[in-house]
Amino acid sequence: MKQHSKTCALYVLLLIAVLSGCSNADSKPSTKTIATISEDGLDETIFPKNSIVDVKITIDEADFQAILDNPTAEQYYEASVNYNGNLLENIGFRTKGNSSLRSVAGMSNSNRYSFKLSLDEYVTQSIGGITKINLNNEYSDASYIREFLAYEIAEGMGIPTPKYSFVNVYINGELWGLYTAVEQMSTAFLEREFGTTTGTLYKSNGGNGADLTALEAFEDYTGLDVKHGNADEQALVAMTDTLNNGEASSYSEVLDVEAALRFIAFNTVTANMDSYAGNFKHNYYLYELDGSFTIIPWDLNMAFGGFGGSGILIDEPTGVALASRPLIAKLIADDTYREQYHQIIEDMINTYFTDGQFESRARELQALISDAVQNDATAFVTFEQFEQGVDALIEFASTQVDSINKQLSGEIASAGDGSGSASNGPGGGMGGDMFGGGRGNRGNGQMPNGEQAQMPNGGQMPDGEQAQMPNFGNGQMPDGQQGQLPDFGNGQMPDGQQNWGGRGQGGFNGQFPGGFMNGEAGSATVSVQDQQNHFKATLICAALLIIGCLIIVLWRRKSL
């Protein structure tokens, strides 16, 4: 009988919660929305390209400590932000990231996380329609400028690009460091780049179907998450089927082929292997509008060799077997599209990499941020390593462009045996490094401050693919040392506990409520009569809950 009372009490509490939620449904607080800023205004005051913006976050000290104590939970806490003079209160603030977040969380001497500002988490507000902004911590980039330069080039090529800029992040009055701010792709981005938000925006999570192979049903595409709009399930299946099984002449019916070729060329020249072409097959978006898909690059902090690419082949620009990336393989296999692709590469090189243009822009940005880097108390690298990182980035770009020009002219091969550039590249493999930003052994593949590089999941990737260590395609560390597994590999959490059903330490850590699956044996003896009584009590309480909801609906209609 006691159990039945608990059940009824549970339903009564649920009914009270429903009543409370319904009565307060229209009482969501509101605050000012900075919605009159034009795109030019955004570029001038929020995301300037030739100055550094101050982003000052104020958050309850206890809440911020909770974030630092459990960063991988990625839980929002209420805060306020003064974004270059624009004050917004009641925003959401949390850490963000994937492997980089967990790597920083595993460091003993750093709290330099990437953060996300959710301006509309609790109230309806935005800056020029932008509701979420990412503050990226420059993890793995000693130069600080790889992501900025990559977005700048993509934008200049006409590729749909989020807003971005350098920012000095302050938290509760303390300078936290120099970051790169990047707009989260959502409604404002779609309206600006496509003129409409009626389509469907997908984001790749690297899972099943993220390689754009043809699968039988929409439900099979677990690697593509809908981030905006309602999915046209048949459109996605039709696109991948046409791409994999159709004729080249039909690709344009389901794809923005020009955009796809620019996407491939951009990733090839910038050696952006932490994207569709690499092992992880992630860091890109798809926007479907009227049955046609546009592919968009994302998360460019590992461009310019940060995740390999010094020996990239322009007609086999993948870190895995070329055939396993059909968007690249199928388009490059067609003579007309391959010629168009080569022309895009040539134009890209002439526009951004000849006559010292790339070095000049890199030096401009270096001068812009040098003082901020010197004052960056949480930096992953020393100022000397920062300067070396910029040098290495310039050197990498020069070597990359020289190799590509020779491939375009036919002086050296532009394709191999189909197994991907990792084993066929003219440079003898995928080069680059994590913290030097270039080739050879600058940074030596080491993590900042002497920390060891770590790979998730025991070095294994989904679908049996082998994870690659940055700078070393074979997963080996320099000098024959073996890459270390992270604290969170193989289901282990940093505290040695197992995670069930949550992110990082935000899950149950191996324990479920009520002793379920935590090693405690519950009672296994329940009589038939008890089961019947429990079932009856459940039906009665459920009926009361339904009646209560109907009363609420009728009351709300009457009040309208």
What is the arithmetic mean of pLDDT over 346-356?
A: 97
User: What local confidence, expressed as pLDDT, does residue 389 receive?
Assistant: 97
User: What local confidence, expressed as pLDDT, does residue 471 receive?
Assistant: 35
User: What local confidence, expressed as pLDDT, does residue 518 receive?
Assistant: 28
21-25, 202-206, 511-515: least confident range = 511-515
Q: Please tell me the distance from the alpha carbon of residue 189 to that of residue 45, in angstroms, as a whole number.
A: 17
Q: Please tell me the distance from the alpha carbon of residue 421 to that of residue 444, in angstroms, as a whole number.
A: 21
More confident of the two residues 378 and 471: 378
User: What local confidence, expressed as pLDDT, does residue 12 receive?
Assistant: 42
Q: Please tell me the distance from the alpha carbon of residue 263 to that of residue 349, in angstroms, as a whole number.
A: 15
User: What local confidence, expressed as pLDDT, does residue 538 receive?
Assistant: 53
Query: How far is the CA of 465 from the CAs of 279, 280, 455, 459, in angstroms?
Result: 7, 9, 13, 9
23-32, 107-116, 216-225, 338-347: least confident range = 23-32
**Does residue 17 surpass a pLDDT of 90?**
no
Which band of pLDDT confidence, cut at 50, 70 and 90, is reported for residue 50?
very high
What is the arithmetic mean of pLDDT over 401-418?
A: 97
> 173-219: per-residue pLDDT in tens?
999 999 999 999 999 999 999 999 999 999 999 999 999 999 999 99
What is the arithmetic mean of pLDDT over 77-98?
A: 96
Highest mean pLDDT among 94-103, 283-292, 471-480 belongs to: 283-292
User: What local confidence, expressed as pLDDT, does residue 98 receive?
Assistant: 87
Q: Please tell me the distance from the alpha carbon of residue 543 to that of residue 81, in angstroms, as a whole number.
A: 46
> 470-500: per-residue pLDDT in tens?
333 333 333 333 333 333 333 333 333 333 2
Q: Please tell me the distance from the alpha carbon of residue 417 to that of residue 447, in angstroms, as a whole number.
A: 33
Label the pairing between strands 174-183 and 77-83. unpaired
Label the pairing between strands 200-205 and 282-289. antiparallel
Q: Please tell me the distance from the alpha carbon of residue 356 to that of residue 378, in angstroms, as a whole number.
A: 32
Q: Please tell me the distance from the alpha carbon of residue 464 to that of residue 433, in angstroms, as a whole number.
A: 24
More confident of the two residues 331 and 512: 331
Cβ contact 286:317 at 8 Å: no
User: What local confidence, expressed as pLDDT, does residue 307 receive?
Assistant: 82
User: What local confidence, expressed as pLDDT, does residue 337 receive?
Assistant: 98
First to last CA, the chain: 42
**Does residue 278 surpass a pLDDT of 70?**
yes
The pLDDT > 90 percentage for the chain reads 66
User: What local confidence, expressed as pLDDT, does residue 530 receive?
Assistant: 42
What is the arithmetic mean of pLDDT over 548-559?
A: 50
Q: Which amino acid is at 298?
A: W
Cβ contact 295:327 at 8 Å: yes
Per residue in 36-55, is it b (16+ CB within 10 Å) or e — as a string?
A: ebeeeebeebbbebeebbeb
The pLDDT > 70 percentage for the chain reads 69
Angle between helix axes 335-352 and 383-409 (nearest 10 degrees) is 140
Q: Which of 486, 495, 422 is nearest to 460 (CA)?
A: 486
Which band of pLDDT confidence, cut at 50, 70 and 90, is reported for residue 81?
very high
Cβ contact 11:541 at 8 Å: yes
Backbone torsion region of residue 64, taken as left when φ is above 0, otherwise alpha when ψ lies between -120 and 50, otherwise beta:
alpha
Structure token pair of residue 235: 């459109």
Residues in the chain: 560
Which band of pLDDT confidence, cut at 50, 70 and 90, is reported for residue 41?
confident
Mean pLDDT of the residues in the chain: 79
Cross-strand pairs, 323: none
Highest mean pLDDT among 24-28, 35-39, 264-268, 481-485 belongs to: 264-268
Which band of pLDDT confidence, cut at 50, 70 and 90, is reported for residue 539?
low
User: What local confidence, expressed as pLDDT, does residue 19 receive?
Assistant: 42
Q: Please tell me the distance from the alpha carbon of residue 368 to that of residue 395, in angstroms, as a whole number.
A: 20
218-227, 369-378, 464-473: least confident range = 464-473
The pTM (predicted TM-score) of the whole model is 0.75
Which band of pLDDT confidence, cut at 50, 70 and 90, is reported for residue 553?
very low
What is the arithmetic mean of pLDDT over 399-411?
A: 97
User: What local confidence, expressed as pLDDT, does residue 431 receive?
Assistant: 37
User: What local confidence, expressed as pLDDT, does residue 99 receive?
Assistant: 85
Cross-strand pairs, 316: 313
Q: Is 87 helix (H, G, I), strand (E, B) or coil?
A: strand
Q: What is the DSSP letter of 484?
A: B
How do the domains of the chain map onto residue ranges? 39-190, 196-440, 492-522, 523-560
84-93, 174-183, 548-557: least confident range = 548-557
User: What local confidence, expressed as pLDDT, does residue 376 receive?
Assistant: 97
More confident of the two residues 548 and 81: 81
What is the arithmetic mean of pLDDT over 150-167?
A: 98
Q: Please tell me the distance from the alpha carbon of residue 143 to that of residue 435, in angstroms, as a whole number.
A: 8
